[in-house]
Amino acid sequence: MTTPLVSLKDMLVVAPMFALLFMSLIPVMIKVFNGNKEPKPFVTVVYALLGVIVAGGLTASLAGMKHVAFSESIVFDGMAVWGSLLVLISGGFSLMLAYDHVETDGRQFSEQCFLMLGSMIGMLIVVMSNDLIVTFLGIEMMSLCLYILVAMSREHTLSKEAAFKYFVLGSFASAVFLYGIALLYGTVGSTQNPVVTAKVAELLANHNQLFYLGLAMVIIGFAFKVSIFPFHAWTPDVYQGASTPITAFMATAVKAATFIAILRLFQHADPATRSSFLAEPKFLSVLSWLAVLSMLLGNVAAVMQNNFKRILAYSSISHSGYLLVGVITAGFAERIESSLAATTVVLFYLFSYTLMTLGAFSLIGILEKQVGHSLTVDDLKGLASRSPVLAGALAIIMFSLAGVPPTIGFFAKFSLFGAAIEQNLYWLAFWGVMTSVVAVFYYLRPVVAMYMAEASETLVLRPAVLTRMTLVLTAIATIIFGLASSPVLEFVSESVLTRL
Amino acid sequence: MLLSLIVFMPLVSAILISLLPKENWIRPTALFLGLAQFVVSLVLFAQYDPSTPALQLVEFVPWVPALGVSYFLGIDGISFWLVLLTTFLLPVVILGSWTAIDKKPKGFHIALFVLQTAMLGSFVAMDLVLFYVFFELSLVPMYFIVGIWGGTRRIYATTKFFIYTMLGSLLMLLAIIYLMFTAQEVLPAKQMTANILELYKLDIPFIAGQFLNPQTLLFFAFSVAFAIKVPMFPFHTWLPDAHVEAPTPGSVVLAGVMLKMGSYGFLRFVIPLFPEASEHYAWVFLFLGVVGIIYGALVAMVQPDVKKLVAYSSVSHMGYVMMGLFALNTYGVTGSIYQMLNHGISTGALFLLVGMIYERTHSREIEKYGGLAKVLPIFTILFFIVTLSSIAVPMTNGFVGEFLILLGAFEASMFFGSLAVIGVVLGAVYMLWMFKRMFFGEEGELVSDKKHPLHDLSLREMVVMAPLIVLIFWMGLLPNQFLQYSKVSVEHLVSTKDAYQLSIHTPQPESDAQLAFGMKFFKSVAQAPEAK
């Protein structure tokens, strides 16, 4: 055998990561060689965005290719393309928010961008990983950067608390995850996703307790990252404590990357049978309960909040529940076509969730007066008369989050519940619908405050051009991709099909 | 293209209004655009052929082919008058709210026109998902209309309205998805579809007496959604809140058209899709209809607030509509359709009149009035005519509708029919009692207030009321001119409801060439899956 250890194609696959790394280093280097003088934030953000755009362009140009690289530890397929694009989209917009953020005063912005791009590299690794150890590396890379990013919000005690909480709990979850991988390796003999999934049926039939335990631990590790009940407790505090652009980044990109890793674990080992994990009724019922409780807890708890960021944090917990319904459907589906259809739905839902959440956080960014000023729903009062465009954009996004047609949020939920019903998972679909009704209540509250309440004080709107652009763009996108959801769905489903 | 034009003209008008630079241009422009869309909708009379039950003026464009969702519009005798009622009420409402809406007139008229698109769309959509989209979309503008231009408790009322309706319709969404998958399994095309004509062909398993079978569950999922919208007792609690807090034009549109989206849903979807369950559970709806009639009337009787009284009278009147529908015979269904129009006209007129007096005195308490007849003679006469229509006195439109419904109800069940008759009496009681207390007797404190003398109706207000009054008598005296448009469709529905099918009307060669092209296109698309 004379196959080279690393082929040119392998390098091509990871080229986007190198693009990000290279571009993230430039501002930091400028700073170092310039006597530790911070470059202009605008220069920094241009380099960082350039990196994101180049990475996105490289990824998009490789679309349609299927390649397993680096001794089968990295897989590049349609799901990786779509996942990378989601990560890059949300990362790019978060960078724009970060540039406009009140705190950006030109002291540590180059480091912040470096860390954000570093985190994105970690996410790209997670998205493309074909091996649980590589997934672990990616998750750690992404999380370590995030811990620092959360803590970087200076002069603000909440952010220190949040960072510490996130760090301690996150490390604990990582340890559990790693331990789970070790147990899986012990029972399966490999950490590669396809090998693990292929062996599941056999090991489950033998009632291999260690295997059960290992699998459960891996799932717990993932559940922590995407804040599935009961591993969600850190979410509201961290979301509130971190500076808004970082929160937006965490809420969207982390979720997208991790859910794709989860999908890879649940994929079909053999096109003829359903994903073996979920053929085991124990796993099915436990995961279903986790999904139902996430939807319930997220939506019910959000009703009682007044802080806008905490509302969005709980809403993100509930959306994790909806996404988990999609993942369960993808794993549970008997025929491979239905499974791929459900995978498509999950990816589409992630896309819609990313758009809506970015939009909602950018509005917080515009209204924030100082770091740590917690924006409440009441602070939105009178926005409609001050700035009809921003208010209209946020209203569209809120209606989309609530799932009112013809926005993308409606079509995402529609196809998600559709996929669940096709697999006779009525129970999950029923709870999804019921909790959506609860959600309507708190998604409407900002709309009420903006349009129907009398303004109590004069609002201060920050000029933040890039943030405003993000808000308006995402709002327009929720309508356009809602009305024309068909092309997006087709694109996603084609890219998913390249996995076959 | 006619239906698309009717549906989307208001949306384009909304965009036009949003571009107007000056505030005092808004109302005249809105009125002009409202009249224009009414005139365009009158073209339906020329294009519609009342002699066939088939679906007409069909438009079909695939929308999300992967899910079998299409942009599919069509009209038949069931929706014909509802479309015209909707387009007719818009200019009336715009003129009626000329002075009532003093803040943010631009936003108000935009919301009104967007609402118009949503309502018209749900009456002509022949694809379940498209219908759902329009049905839900109608919530958003109404939410803003009540929430921004409403009374003091407007936020409570509008949030309740939104969540209540959303709860029902999301359950319906699950049922819709289920139907689409059933279609994929059962129908020869082996493809998901939300095309209602295809779904009519489904034979959904039904087991009488058991609850957990597909047809019963689907039937109730749809029924709850529409019963909340109608609203049928005991799902009516959002209605009085929403009506009392809504501004006058909001109440008129809400009572006049939006409630009909519920009863229309029963007629278009529930009864034809789930015939066995409809028949088996008809007694539930007859019973709740009767309860609604009597309960609504009794509660209306004790209301101190005249707007709330009218709101509860809506509950009572919609009870008749539900009874007529679930009598499941030609009289009942015809009467129901007629009563939907009547209710739109007479309740709409009542809300407008209440709004007019409210604008003068800023009070709706019946106690504070009295002796209005001497001070405001024209207003009194108009109010009296509308009251007569509301209590269904012969020669007014209300009589024809209620009479047909009672005929149908007696044919279906003597028991419920005779109970409904009690409702007729009660209806007369609360309306006439209210009329007596407000217009005769001692002059109330607001009427005798010399500092704020009341003025009789202005020319604008008379112009608003004139078409409604004319219609009250027209529909009362010459019902056949109206009924002939829905007759064939209703007979077709009632006689074949167990195996209801709706074909597509192929226009004669001499008719519009564009339409013929559209038909050809539709056929090619509809046959494509079979060819595979």
**Predicted local confidence at residue B130, as pLDDT:** 92
pLDDT category, A291, cuts 50, 70, 90? Answer: very high
Which two three-digit tokens encode residue B414?
A: 């003597």
Residue B143 falls inside a structural domain: yes
Burial class (CB in 10 A: 0-12, 13-18, 19+), A169: middle
Give me the residue from B67, B163, B178 closest to A441, CB to CB: B163
Query: B329 and B448 in one domain?
Result: yes
DSSP per-residue string spanning B35-68: HHHHHHHHHHHHH--TT--SBEEEEEEEEEGGGT
Give a yes or no: residue B492 inside a domain: yes
- Residues sharing a CB contact under 8 Å with residue B502, sequence separation 6 or more, in sequence order: B53, B54, B55, B76, B196, B197, B200, B272
Say if residues A173 and A220 touch (Cβ distance below 8 Å).
yes
Contacts of A415 in chain B (CB under 8 A): 67
For residue B498, count CB atoms less than 10 angstroms from its CB and return exposed for 0-12, middle for 13-18, buried for 19 or more.
Answer: exposed
Q: Is the pLDDT of residue B443 over 90?
A: no
CB spacing of B133 vs A410 below 8 angstroms: yes
- Cβ–Cβ gap B174/A429 under 8 Å: yes
Q: Which of A433, A441, A488, A494 to mutate to test the interface with B (most CBs of B within 10 A)?
A: A433
Which of B65, B132, B177 is closest, CB to CB, to A405? Answer: B132
Instruction: Tell me: do B266 and B293 sit in the same domain.
Output: no
> Does any domain span residue B60?
yes
pLDDT, one tens digit per residue, over A159-205 is 788 888 899 999 999 999 999 999 999 988 888 888 888 888 788 77
Give a yes or no: residue B53 inside a domain. Answer: yes
Instruction: Note the pTM of the prediction, 2 decimals.
Output: 0.88
Task: Please report whether residue B208 resides in a domain.
Answer: yes
User: Tell me, what's the pLDDT at A372?
Assistant: 56
Which residues of chain B does A348 touch, with a Cβ-Cβ cutoff of 8 Å? Answer: none
Judge whether A372 is closer than 8 Å to chain B, CB to CB: no
Predicted confidence (pLDDT) per residue in A84-108, tens digit = 999 999 999 999 998 888 666 667 8
**B180 interaction partners in chain A (CB closer than 8 Å):** 418
Q: What is the DSSP string of B230-250?
A: TTPTTS-THHHHHHHHS-HHH
Please judge whether A440 and B174 are an interchain contact, meaning their C-beta atoms are less than 8 angstroms apart: no
Query: Once rounded to an integer, what is the mean pLDDT over residues A386-414?
Result: 89
Residue B255 has pLDDT above 60, yes or no: yes
3-class DSSP state for residue A35? coil
Q: Using one digit for the tens of pLDDT, what is the confidence trace for B360-375?
A: 888 888 888 878 888 8
- Chain B contacts in chain A segment 226-255 (CB below 8 A): none
Interface size between A and B, measured as CB pairs under 8 A: 79
Question: Is residue A453 within 8 angstroms of chain B, CB to CB?
Answer: yes
One domain for residues B296 and B432: yes
Tell me what the mean pLDDT of segment B369-398 comes to. 87
Residue A464 lies in a domain: yes
**Could you tell me if residue A1 is inside a domain?**
no
User: Confidence band (pLDDT; 50, 70, 90) for B522?
Assistant: low
Residue A2 domain-assigned (yes or no): no
pLDDT of A256:
93
State whether B159 and A493 contact (CB < 8 Å). no
Q: How confident is the model over B97-140, as pLDDT tens digits?
A: 888 888 888 888 999 999 999 999 999 999 999 999 999 889 88
Round to whole Å and give the CA distance between A395 and A244.
19
Same domain, B224 and B313: no
Q: How far is A421 from chain B (nearest CA, A)?
A: 7
pLDDT band at B531 (very low <50, low <70, confident <90, very high): very low
Write the pLDDT tens digit of every residue in A473-485. 999 999 999 888 8
Give pLDDT tens digits for B130-188.
Answer: 999 999 889 889 988 988 888 888 888 888 888 888 888 888 988 998 888 888 888 88
Q: Look at residue A270 and tell me whether its pLDDT is greater than 70.
A: no
The percent of residues above 90 in pLDDT, for chain B, comes to 27
Q: Do A399 and B140 touch (CB under 8 A)?
A: yes
Domain limits at A16?
8-497
Regarding whether B307 and B411 lie in a shared domain, the answer is: yes
- Full domain range(s) for residue B290: 281-501
Q: Specify if A486 maps to a domain.
A: yes
**pLDDT range class, residue A7, cuts 50, 70, 90:** confident
Percent of chain A with pLDDT over 90: 37
Could you tell me if B132 lies within 8 Å of chain A, comparing CB atoms? yes
pLDDT tier, B19 (very low <50, low <70, confident <90, very high otherwise): confident
Residue B407: inside a domain: yes
A185 touches chain B (CB under 8 A): no
Crossing angle (nearest 10°) for helices A157-188 and A209-225: 150
pLDDT band at A499 (very low <50, low <70, confident <90, very high): low
Q: With a cut of 0.95, is the ipTM above it?
A: no
Residues in chain B closer than 8 A to A443 (CB atoms): none
Q: What is the pLDDT of residue A1?
A: 46
Does residue A370 have a pLDDT over 70?
no
Facing residues of B55 across strands? B504
| Same domain, yes or no: B460 and B362 | yes
- One domain, residues B220 and B248: yes
B483 and B512 fall within a common domain: no
CA A476 to mean position of chain CA atoms: 21
Mean pLDDT of chain A: 86
Q: State whether B238 and B305 are in the same domain.
A: no
Q: Is B532 contained in some domain?
A: no
**B176 & B305 share domain:** no
Best mutation target among B158, B159, B165 (most A Cβ atoms within 10 Å) is B159
Does a structural domain hold residue A3?
no
Instruction: Look at residue B521 and tell me whether its pLDDT is greater than 60.
Output: no
Quick one: pLDDT at residue B38?
Answer: 92
Confidence bin at B200 (pLDDT 50/70/90): confident
Total of domains in chain B: 2
In a domain, B66, yes or no: yes
Q: How far is it, in rounded angstroms, from Cα A411 to Cα A423? A: 18
Q: Which two tokens stand for residue A454?
A: 């009398």
Q: Does A455 touch chain B (CB under 8 A)?
A: no
Rounded average pLDDT over A72-77: 85
Q: Domain tally for chain A?
A: 1
The answer to whether residues B371 and B390 belong to one domain is: yes
Q: Which of B63, B136, B148 lies at the smallest CB-CB distance from A451? A: B148
Residues of chain A contacting residue B238, judged by C-beta atoms under 8 Å apart: none
- Same domain membership, residue B252 and residue B307: no
